[in-house]
Structure 1
Amino acid sequence: MHASRKAAALAGAVLAPVLAVSLPAGSASAHGYISDPPSRQAQCAAGTVSCGDITYEPQSVEGPKGLTSCSGGNSRFSELDDDSKGWVVTPVSKNTTFSWKLTAQHSTSTWEYYAGGRRIAVFDDGGAKPGAVVNHQVDFGGLTGKQKVLAVWNVADTSNAFYACIDVNVGG
């Protein structure tokens, strides 16, 4: 190998990791989370609870559809799955509005809400593209007291969904 080729190869080997870190990530264009009542990732972003990476990208809890974890199966955001972390519990009424803040709108199949081990609400968007804020009125039915709500935004044109957990006290 000529000296100039060796130098070029060495320069490429040194610069490639720097460029890879400095370029924006394709999937990090991000997407959305529940801002009100404050979801766990909203509490991290606000500094209410001390968290890791999720503090800087609360909208990025994305994973395959069908999961039941607050982290969406993403190990970078595993602190969202820790029920003992000191999450602030928000008092809510039996019928409560959940507000999603979207940083990138995706065609949507459904929005789902789970509490008490079952699905308590589903909203079918039929593939429509939402606006920057999406509100859903959710009825907790017979559930009362402290509940962990799992909210899921199912994207229509991919196999992924976005996940958010919200700690509430229904009727409290």
Structure 2
Amino acid sequence: MRKKISAAVIGIGLAAISVLATGGSASSHGYTDSPISRQKLCANGTVTGCGDIQYEPQSVEGPKGFPSGGPADGTICAGGNSRFSQLDDPRGGNWPATRMTAGQSYTFNWRFTASHSTTDFKYYITKNGWNPGQKLTRASLESQPFLTVPYNGQRPPSTLSHSGTIPSGKSGRHVILAVWTIADTSNAFYACSDVQF
């Protein structure tokens, strides 16, 4: 009996050390795959030269409170995380883009690798006339989200979809910024999706 307990304690201890050594955490992680996010494009190999994000598309976590708080302008797509700065590179406005129709309903899809108590999900879109060759800033985005989905502290399942109407009057290239705000930490998760109207 004593050997079994000792082995269990050692196993738990090694698991905890492994999490600490790799910088991992027990917090939630997630990303959007519809419209496909930049981090997912990197993870599935559609876009190369992405650095670490190709191995962990679910980890774009940064301070919550957007737009009054959160990541600094120019670092929004990476959640303010310099490890994932390739997501902030506009690549000359040439990220692969999902085709959409302005004014139409669209189903947004999240994938989660771990669950967490959630405040809400918000979706922002760039203004008409913004420059897709520059890094994303608050001034590039409409001031209010076009879709807010309250989640009241619930934990999402492994996949979650939201339906909403894309703002009318959009044409050309745009970016949709999805923000998943966590209820019981100081962070949120960020996902930028390039779209073409």
| Fold in common (TM above 0.5) | yes
- Where do residues 9-48 of structure 1 align in structure 2 (5 Å cutoff)? 23-27=21-25, 31-48=29-46
Using the TM superposition, name which of 26-35 and 111-120 deviates more.
Answer: 26-35
Superposed displacement of residue 33, structure 1: 0.2
Which of 41, 59, 81 is the equivalent residue of 1:74? 81
| Runs of 4+ more than 3 Å apart | 19-24
Is the partner of 2:91 in helix, strand or coil?
coil
- Aligned pair in 2 of structure 1 residues 158, 82: CA closer, same or farther (>3 Å)? same
Long gaps (5+) in structure 1: 1-18
- Aligned pair in 2 of structure 1 residues 142, 44: CA closer, same or farther (>3 Å)? same
Partner of 2:156: 130
TM, length-normalised to structure 2 = 0.71
Bigger radius of gyration = 1
How many residues align? The count is 152
Superposed displacement of residue 23, structure 1: 3.9
Deviations 1:103-139 (A, max 9, x none): 0011110100000222111000111111000111121
TM, length-normalised to structure 1 = 0.81
- Aligned pair in 2 of structure 1 residues 79, 128: CA closer, same or farther (>3 Å)? same
- Aligned pair in 2 of structure 1 residues 48, 126: CA closer, same or farther (>3 Å)? same
Superposed displacement of residue 169, structure 1: 1.5
Partner of 1:52: 51
Cα pair 1:88 1:167 within 8 Å, conserved: yes
Superposed displacement of residue 29, structure 1: 6.1
Which of 95, 113, 125 is the equivalent residue of 1:87? 95
% identity of equivalent residues:
48
Is the partner of 2:114 in helix, strand or coil?
coil
CA distance in structure 2 between the partners assigned to 1:104 and 1:156 by the alignment: 14
More strand by share: 1
